[in-house]
Structure 1
Amino acid sequence: MLIALLAVLGSAGTFVSVTGNASAHNATPPSGSPPVDPSPSPSSPSVTDPTDNAPADASTSASAGSSRTPADAPDDPAGPAGSGSPSGSTGPGQSVPAAGDFADIRSVRPGPRPPRDGPGASTGTFTSDCGRNEERHNNPDNFIVTPGVRNGAHHLHDYVGNRSTDAFSTDGSLRTAGTTCAGGDKSAYFWPVLRRLSGGDGPSSGNGQDPADGNVGRVLTPSSVSLTFRGSPAGKVAAMPEGLRAITGDAKAFTNGTANARAQWTCTGFEDRRLADKYPLCPGGSRAVRVLDFPSCWDGTNKDSANHRTHLVFPDRASGRCSGGTKAVPQLQMRLTYAVTPRPRAFALDSFPEQLRKPVTDHADFANFMPRDLMARAVACINSGRRCR
């Protein structure tokens, strides 16, 4: 009996010991402990776990912040009011991209060249100077896709051009509002904001944001914004009608697939290299660039369509020609540059919650409200090969 009892106690002792080790391994860290970052070292961003969405290590971010080079320094460290501030907390309503969502631009091969200009190509450009959203016109609305719905986008937009743009914008309200653009261009230009991440950003609120959407971080004002209308390599362009709506990219490309994705990420000095599904890590002295090309083949009748795409489509990638039944109008290209720290998970795009702030979801919107004479001037410049603004 004594031997049997000792055997049972010995077994129980072994069980307790194993259970104790398992508890220590899985224990919840004490309150105030920094979150564990399971991602690989930023020095080897190509070896990553693409499913890893844990916050960046706060101590690493703090260290990097204290040694920024001038090219990494933020243009606007404060960001818009209500854009979120570091709190050291983690939990629901916070989202950062995976370390695998970043790539060194120097590892990317140059991409294909655009179509060659054919006889009669319209080689000019017209640039609308509308600022960098220094006025901090931000909201999470989208009057094109979700009209009349506050926070219909579930991510914050930067706006330039029309000063009144929000969920309830109409042709009438946009036509009579003020503008940040030169020459009286009252068009609405908007895109999701880019944010600087610190590793301890609290939920964002203000500007109509819902903290549950998870778009944490400090909103960055672009270093530069270029809004350029270009011609067609296949012929002349016609004027856009007032009120024409246009979208590029797919805000839900991570879950929808890439059929409508148009994201292009690159760096200054490396713009022949483009990334579609990675954020760029740029070398010293170079800035991150977002390039957003819009469709430019109009059906000649409709200013919008049910899916906001079929009335205005992209030209053929190889030839630049518009398909039968559509005609070329000036193609808008947005080019946005940013001073960001070249480290994985140091910055991110705003997105719908389920899109996990993936770079492939980059997109932008436009509604044309140029005065008729300004549009006529833009078309004349483009068709005659001049560069105007």
Structure 2
Amino acid sequence: MKNSLFIPVACAGISHREADIPALEDFRFPDEKEFMDEAGELFKGIVLLQTCNRIEIFVHGDGATLDRFLKDKGRSGYRMLEGEDVLDHLLRLASGMESMIIGEDQILGQLKTALILSQETGHCDRVLDMCINRAIHTGIEVRNRTKINSGAVSIGSAAVTLAEDLLGTLEDRHILVVGVGEMGKLVAQAIAAKNLKAIYVTNRTYETAVDLADKIGGKAVKMDDLYRYISLSDVVISCTGAPHAVIHASELREALESRRWPLDEKERPLILIDIAQPRDVEEEIANIDRVKVFTIDDLRSVSEKNMGIRKKQAEAAEKMISLDLISFVSMLNRTSADDILVDLYTWAESIRIRERDKALSRLKDADEKTRGVIEDLSKVLVKKMFSDATIAIRGCAESGDLEGAEKYVHAITRGNNPCIRKDDSED
């Protein structure tokens, strides 16, 4: 893409499109604040977005510096974008076009959370604040006007759909939800509409499990009873925010010994769907007989089916994003004139103060009211005199002519002729 963006912005990222779960886990930054503080020494602003299937780093700065920083942190295999490509990617991301489940709404909340983290850690500047908020606004507009999220499912509800496809029906089944964070709530909402025999909810903090269970008509259980309720369940959907596995092979094998009920003709299979990042389920569990483990990677089929249904809406969304990108670039370029205008107003302020002081020196007996009138008058004159110039300078930057904006300022502050080309002045 041709880059006509004056403000340097860059993005490095990895997602379900380029990487599998182990690669995503290796790339993840477990201590987000520490990462932000270290990156903050190099960039004017930084936003870190980490979800179950993507990690994105947006910076107000250049891509080469970001690339060196990430390599020093031992990261590799990421894509790097700069300039307009960053804005295009951000708009597509917020619109749900880059999500595994096309059109899902969860990404909007995740972008807001990432922005809040940047603000709270002191690493969000005006440029990135504008970028994230503009992208969120576009994402909302795309959904409202194209209905790309009509009937859309989140990763959580896609996990429930996968379980239903695997079992044929969830009617009269027992399901255990492990973790009641944002993803767990989405899972719970999806299964609440099914005709289940029992819904169990567990979480590290028992009280939050009780709150969610009450809302969906389920039963809250303590984490100490995790394996007991796994043995009672047909499906376990795990989505905690723990930095390590919470379902272990040795304990699960022991729990499965009592899984076969007296009237069962054969041993019942157990379906474990792990949509946490990092993973909740130890890899060794996939080797246990009667246990089928599925991960985010297995939800791709749901995404492909979802994309087929929404193809026309996606085409309309693409057109909206392309048009909005033009105004997005103009908006940021307009702010790029700020540094140029600082020179203009610094120059004007120095003249104002000098002439004000001259006038006041001639009015030796002026009282405070008179001095205040002169102060206000001088400020108003400067503001009025340069209002048209400010509009013209911002207009140049907005239309992509930063050189023209600089010439305006030089013409005013240094007496340069803006009509003389650089080549002509060198003859």
TM-score (norm: length of structure 1): 0.20
The structure richer in strand per residue is: 1
Q: Higher RCO, 1 or 2 (CA under 8 Å, sep at least 6)?
A: 1
TM-score (norm: length of structure 2): 0.19
